[in-house]
Structure 1
Amino acid sequence: MYPYYPLSRTRGEIRLLDLKPADWNDEISCSLRHAELTETLEFTALSYTWGNPHIRKTILIDGYALDITINLYDALQHMRDAKQPRTLWIDAVCINQDDLDERSKQVLRMRDIYAIAVAVEVWLGKTDDDDDVAAMDLAGRLGAVVNDPEQALAQGFDAKYQELFLKEIEQCTPEVLRALGRLFKRPWWTRVWVVQELSLARQETAKVRCGKRTLPWLDFLITAYAIELSWFIIDAIISNAFPDERLDSFNQAIRMAQCRRLNSTHPTFALLELLNQHRDCEATDPRDKVFGLLGLSGDVDDIGIEPDYTSSPQNIYTDLFRKHVIATRSLDMICACRYPKKYADLASWVPDWSTDQIVPGICINDRYKGGNDFPGSPVAHFQKYSASGTSSPCVSFSENKISMSAIHFGSIVSVGDIDDGMAFQDIETFGRQDKNGKSGSDSETFNQWLNMVLDSPTWDEIAKQYGAENVLDAFCRTLVGNRNNRMMKPPPEGLANEMHDESDESGIGDDREQKEITLGDAEPGDTEPGDTEPGANESDMTTSTSSEDNAFSPPEMLSMTLDGFRSCIQVSWGKRFAILDSGHIGIVPQHALVGDMVAIVLGCTMPLVLRPTNVMSANFVGESYIHGVMDGELMDGHVVETWILE
């Protein structure tokens, strides 16, 4: 086997692979040399996936055998020139994978390696059939539509481009469009390392290879935007041109384009944002879910986290949490915890970054999978929550425990069903009645949550918290986390009528009917202090009730654009509605239970759901949105206690 010689740390050496020219069927022969990483080096950095680690083939390096994965072997065979040598940097070969200390040090250098490389070449894999070739050709034609790709990606695509995109797409067969979707579903797109590799690469020289066919990387980015912009029209022309996976298929390319654009102008990504944004990316080594993004983080030096392949994933994740709290003076990383955890021995308060982002978070600025923002389009900037006001965390760590200061203001007395997303798919028809007088919404979850409020034994406490006439307004705002400053106030009369009709059909008694009438009695001019911003457009606050069917649509009620509405879905999707004994209502994690306590923790922007295990001890359950406490309202006049999380 090839004997690796140590790299000089004082000279900042890396290894470069010289791929020798040969015919297609010849064995792959290379040489490996040490070089100081400087701007004058000329080499191509390969971006690829390792593939199945158990299927390997042998190449020769300076006469010695080295086993590599079959996917890397295929890449070298396709990249090899018949006449000229090629100089490459490939992590699996240029880093001694058996030397954990070297791996840790060289990973830190990958940011510079991909930035200095004269070119970065993406290897998607071999072409499977003629449709793959046709799909590559389509990507090339879509890329050629744009005269200045960098400018278009930065500023957005106007109607002229959309029309040109459609002309190209309409000429394609369903088979070619599906093949294009498959290209974007290849494993390379899911790999966490590619985010850094292509964000740092020179965009003008980066290219994508599929088999023998290569295209500029920018053509693929433009293609991803073209498909997203044309999606509804494509689906109308060619039914099911892409399977249900279409959001995942192209979103990763778009996220990478955004990451590159923002990194080139403001290279200050917070590590927590990066970790959450790319949580659904994959890594063979779970430690790389953190290490693979360090090169893009603007606060990594302040946090003090470095690659260390001698440490376990559990230790790395725990150490990251501790250092992040100290460096940022914030406990918000705790909100990234998701369940179930892959590592059962992780403390309840430590995020397991090896698990996917299955359920969207509320606190951290992540993206609901269906709601990408295109360059040049208005981005939905929501207010940040500040449940603990301007307080800093008061914490101490011991073994797998954390001590923190908290205000316990309520416990859960009832929880609703889990929102599977149908409530928001049906929300445009909720409240509409057909000619038979039946509601247009099929969402049982959405209706159940409403009924929870109306039937709650703690109704008096709820009415005390929000005012009886404002409870319905609080309910609607809770569903979207109050994240639209143009939220209508009060809710349309049609909703109260719909609720009243439901009570008639279900035979609910006079007490509930009186609550419904109270909820519907608000006058159009009634507002609460602080509900609208100075100078808000009056049209943003008006109701919309049809004279023909006395119907309304919640998107009108919420006065938000489709993009903004999609972004708000993350507040409730995959979570439960809950009522506290204090009368507060809110959104809690799907695994929250009756009896769980809710607390404001100093230094955390979100109220946290905790499950008591002993006196003043608890396990962390998850973040929550509790209406009426998200702006520090409870920070004065409440007892601050010390709780220990295990």
Structure 2
Amino acid sequence: MEEWNVDIISLLYKPLVGSMPIRLLRLHPGTPDDDLNAELIPTSIEEAEGQYEATLYTWGSPVDPQRMTCNGLNVIIQKNAFDMLSDLRRTDQARTVWIDAICIDQSNIEERASQVSIMHHIYRRAERVVIWLGKSDDYSTISMTYAASLDVPKLLKESKDISDSATNDWEIYTKKSYFFEPEEEKDPSPHPILGVALVKFINRPWFNRVWVQQEAALCRETRVTCGDQEVGWDNIFALAWMLLPRSIGLYPDYISDDPNRTLNNISAVENIQRRRRRLFGDLYQTRGELIFQPLISRLVNSSRFGATDPRDKLYSLQYFAEDADTWFDIDYGLPWQILYADVARRFLEHGILGFLKNAGKVRQKPDSMLPSWAPDFRDGNWGSNTMIEHPSWMPGGPKTDTSYDTPGKAAGSVHNLPKKQRKRLDLPKELKDFKDSRKALLQSYASFKSTMSDEIVYLADVLDDPFDVQATLCIVRNDLDHIKKLESQTYLSGESLPAAYVLTLILSSNHEQGIVDSQYASKNWNDWFQWLTDPHRGRETMPVLQYSIEASGALQSFRFAITKHGYFCLVPRDAQVHDVVSIFVGYQVGVVLRRWQPPSIRMGDGKAPEGSSKGAEAAEYFELIGDAYIHGMMTNQARCIIDEFNCKHDPTQPQVQAMMRASDSGHGVSWKTLGLSGGYARILETLGDHLVNMV
């Protein structure tokens, strides 16, 4: 798109000068049949404050660009921008707006960076923000009319009361207003038509864009338009609030939209509303206090949303993440791959591992040139590849400080691969020709501190169809049959193996994300199994265990696994036998690793480079696959056992014997002090501090 107007750029745009300079677009009046005509006005934020409307819309596809007249020149713009300006144009008077596609010289990298750095000022000091959701259709007409009819004050108060509640009791959500009431689900008409329309409406592309998380929250007066209909922002929030389920249950069967996408977009609306409450306390009867957060706490949320430019997954956070400018500079000349890898390197060296939630082969797109340890924020893959972690989990010990100013102890480091290995990771021409020493990060390895490693020896099947009950029963029965053949029928943490199996499938959490034990597993297992085999089963009779299994992603997104020394795990569906389950110091879940086979070995003749051993090379480096749950090891047991019994990684036989003597075979004072029981002694050989090198 930057090349569309290359012949007139110098005539259309003059350099921006002064303090916080901007351009505004004065849209001349006209009828729908008239050509779009406008002029660019150079000014500053200080001079223009309160005298313009800032627009928010989805850039959309570059296909089918349109033409308009600006400053007497024939200018090409993307269709979404053209359609929005056409809808906003008045027939009787000019309208002054700020629109990024035209008011910023998109071909000027330095100007783009400079304007992005003051974006929050542009939106906060506008007279109003106008959100354009796109051209109208039958669904939007029904939805906008419904949104305008809602009792907004009542729903705002309800949301605020729940948000401000000091209790974390799940029951409080059962009392919220909800569009899909059970009795209404059975009404065939006209409710299903309205329900489908509302879900289609909330799934419009605008709600999934990363930039709107900042910009829609900044201005007191924010209006939402779709076609010729307009409502206030609070009406849109009230609509989203009505669509937010009371529990983790799914929508009625007649709703065909992806529920993950729907819930993701509703969460985006909630995030915006939460920030508006903090900014404009007098509007929402709150303290009006904006809470800034460190970058790492915002990244996972940001990655769930879309952006035309991959770099904007980070740059869009420069206002709400108080420490953003310490981790990166806004630079649209820097390739996104190098930006992602460089930010990951900095986090790693400051002991902050939250970025791994977006790293690993299961989260990286097939075209990614990133090392497996670097996050791919382009697509957060929220839902299918994300393990819902519990607040109490800390398999690698407590999380380190997330502040750049007070760095924690390094969790690892990044190093250049040996020359022979680098040659196997060839970069595309645009990256190879880029002049910046940081591009070496794309051909490097990262060393992570690990406390536990063990090899997967059994891997369950996974479902291709979540509604295939026979396949579900087959998977579960096969797992239980395999478990019955294991030498010990007591799990390392003291439970029976069947109970440990159930707890692994549900991440030891109930439908309210409360930690549960073997009694909970035993109590609810038969109800779940009977429900599966009932030919008349339905969601109205669904047992609580099914909610927990759906929430964990077991059997579909994640699969059950057993390691060589007996750990029960839940691992990504892409995991393979002989992959390694590990615990990284400072990370909140376990990980799955795979021994690296360089491309020249995977796709070539299988010969290792001259003077080296293929086996040694393959074993020296790993690739990160994704997250894992390791039953019985999720609350820092690895560190406690290592410190108590002086565990060594890859121990010699004398060292194993020393550890066993120190442990009193699991029956001594130390075990009682640690609160351990069962068969922990059998996994001593898997523990010990060591480094894992990942490419």
TM class by shorter chain equals: 0.7 to 0.9
Q: Which runs of 5+ in 1 are unaligned?
A: 366-380, 427-439, 502-552
Aligned residue in 2 for 1:253: 266
Distance 1:567 1:301, change over 3 A: farther
Aligned residue in 1 for 2:665: none
Q: Which letter does structure 2 place at the counterpart of 1:147?
A: P
Aligned residue in 2 for 1:23: 31
Q: Distance in 2 between matches of 1:586 and 1:19?
A: 60
1:168-183 alignment, distance < 5 Å: 172=190, 174-183=192-201
Q: Deviations over 1:257-313 (max 9, x none)?
A: 2343157255334434433234342222222233234433244244x2232211112
Give, in angstroms, the shift of residue 233 of structure 1. 13
Q: Which letter does structure 2 place at the counterpart of 1:449?
A: D
Q: Distance in 2 between matches of 1:234 and 1:389?
A: 34
Q: Which letter does structure 2 place at the counterpart of 1:220?
A: I
Aligned residue in 1 for 2:493: 466
Q: Which letter does structure 2 place at the counterpart of 1:313?
A: W
Aligned residue in 2 for 1:290: 314
Distance 1:152 1:322, change over 3 A: same
Q: Distance in 2 between matches of 1:177 and 1:92?
A: 34
Distance 1:61 1:13, change over 3 A: same
Aligned residue in 2 for 1:416: 460
Give, in angstroms, the shift of residue 358 of structure 1. 5.4
**SS at 1:619's partner residue?**
strand
Give, in angstroms, the shift of residue 441 of structure 1. 9.6
Partners of 2:589 and 2:634 within 8 A in 1: yes
**SS at 1:466's partner residue?**
coil
Partners of 1:332 and 1:363 within 8 A in 2: no
Distance 1:161 1:34, change over 3 A: same
Which of 126, 136, 146 lines up with 1:138 in the alignment? 146
Q: Distance in 2 between matches of 1:231 and 1:463?
A: 34
Matched, 1:206 2:197: no
Aligned residue in 2 for 1:325: 348
Q: Which letter does structure 2 place at the counterpart of 1:481?
A: L
Normalised by the length of structure 1, the TM-score is: 0.75
Q: Distance in 1 between matches of 2:593 and 2:340?
A: 21
Give, in angstroms, the shift of residue 98 of structure 1. 0.3
Distance 1:167 1:141, change over 3 A: farther
Matched, 1:448 2:478: yes
Q: Distance in 2 between matches of 1:167 and 1:408?
A: 51
Aligned residue in 2 for 1:125: 134
Aligned residue in 2 for 1:67: 76
Partners of 1:335 and 1:361 within 8 A in 2: no
Q: Which letter does structure 1 place at the counterpart of 2:490?
A: A
Partners of 1:599 and 1:609 within 8 A in 2: yes
Give, in angstroms, the shift of residue 141 of structure 1. 0.9
Partners of 1:224 and 1:253 within 8 A in 2: yes
Distance 1:488 1:22, change over 3 A: same
Q: Distance in 1 between matches of 2:180 and 2:523?
A: 43
Q: Distance in 2 between matches of 1:177 and 1:229?
A: 13
Distance 1:43 1:98, change over 3 A: same
Q: Distance in 2 between matches of 1:164 and 1:403?
A: 50
Q: Distance in 1 between matches of 2:569 and 2:250?
A: 39
Matched, 1:584 2:567: yes
Q: Distance in 2 between matches of 1:80 and 1:358?
A: 38
Distance 1:102 1:584, change over 3 A: same
Partners of 1:221 and 1:257 within 8 A in 2: yes
Q: Distance in 1 between matches of 2:62 and 2:52?
A: 26
Partners of 1:342 and 1:352 within 8 A in 2: no
Q: Deviations over 1:621-644 (max 9, x none)?
A: 222111122222122233322332
Q: Distance in 1 between matches of 2:70 and 2:414?
A: 49
Aligned residue in 2 for 1:575: 558
Give, in angstroms, the shift of residue 114 of structure 1. 2.0
**SS at 1:221's partner residue?**
helix
Matched, 1:396 2:413: yes
Aligned residue in 2 for 1:482: 508
Matched, 1:313 2:336: yes
Partners of 2:306 and 2:379 within 8 A in 1: no
Aligned residue in 1 for 2:684: none
Partners of 2:251 and 2:259 within 8 A in 1: no
Give, in angstroms, the shift of residue 588 of structure 1. 1.3
Give, in angstroms, the shift of residue 165 of structure 1. 9.5
Aligned residue in 2 for 1:354: 378
Give, in angstroms, the shift of residue 110 of structure 1. 1.6
Distance 1:449 1:107, change over 3 A: farther
Q: Which letter does structure 1 place at the counterpart of 2:134?
A: G
Aligned residue in 2 for 1:633: 637
Partners of 2:472 and 2:555 within 8 A in 1: no
Normalised by the length of structure 2, the TM-score is: 0.70
Q: Deviations over 1:193-220 (max 9, x none)?
A: 2222223342xx2111111111112111
Q: Distance in 1 between matches of 2:556 and 2:451?
A: 27
**SS at 1:604's partner residue?**
coil
Q: Distance in 1 between matches of 2:456 and 2:249?
A: 46
Q: Distance in 1 between matches of 2:132 and 2:375?
A: 32
Aligned residue in 2 for 1:374: none
Q: Which letter does structure 1 place at the counterpart of 2:356?
A: I
Which of 149, 155, 163 lines up with 2:161 in the alignment? 155
Aligned residue in 2 for 1:541: none
Q: Distance in 2 between matches of 1:310 and 1:172?
A: 53
Aligned residue in 2 for 1:436: none
Give, in angstroms, the shift of residue 173 of structure 1. 5.9
Q: Distance in 2 between matches of 1:397 and 1:276?
A: 22
**SS at 1:475's partner residue?**
helix
Aligned residue in 2 for 1:593: 576
The root-mean-square deviation of aligned C-alpha atoms, in Å, is 3.8
Q: Distance in 1 between matches of 2:558 and 2:249?
A: 32
Partners of 1:419 and 1:572 within 8 A in 2: yes
1:334-413 alignment, distance < 5 Å: 334-337=356-359, 338-357=362-381, 359-360=383-384, 382-389=391-398, 392-398=409-415, 399=440, 400-413=444-457
Give, in angstroms, the shift of residue 557 of structure 1. 7.0
**SS at 1:252's partner residue?**
helix
Question: Relative to structure 2, which stretch is displaced further, 154-163 or 616-625?
Answer: 154-163
Q: Deviations over 1:95-131 (max 9, x none)?
A: 11000111122112222222222211111222235x6
Aligned residue in 2 for 1:96: 105
Q: Which runs of 5+ in 2 are unaligned?
A: 1-7, 163-172, 279-288, 401-408, 416-439, 531-540, 597-616, 649-688
Give, in angstroms, the shift of residue 79 of structure 1. 0.8
Give, in angstroms, the shift of residue 18 of structure 1. 1.4
Distance 1:78 1:344, change over 3 A: closer
Question: Relative to structure 2, which stretch is displaced further, 99-108 or 572-581?
Answer: 572-581
Matched, 1:5 2:7: no
Q: Which letter does structure 2 place at the counterpart of 1:325?
A: L
**SS at 2:569's partner residue?**
strand
Q: Distance in 1 between matches of 2:521 and 2:175?
A: 35
Identical counterparts, % of pairs = 25
Q: Distance in 2 between matches of 1:182 and 1:464?
A: 47
Give, in angstroms, the shift of residue 83 of structure 1. 2.2
Q: Distance in 1 between matches of 2:125 and 2:485?
A: 64
Distance 1:177 1:335, change over 3 A: closer
Which of 212, 220, 236 lines up with 1:220 in the alignment? 236
Distance 1:163 1:600, change over 3 A: closer
Give, in angstroms, the shift of residue 163 of structure 1. 8.9
Give, in angstroms, the shift of residue 85 of structure 1. 1.9
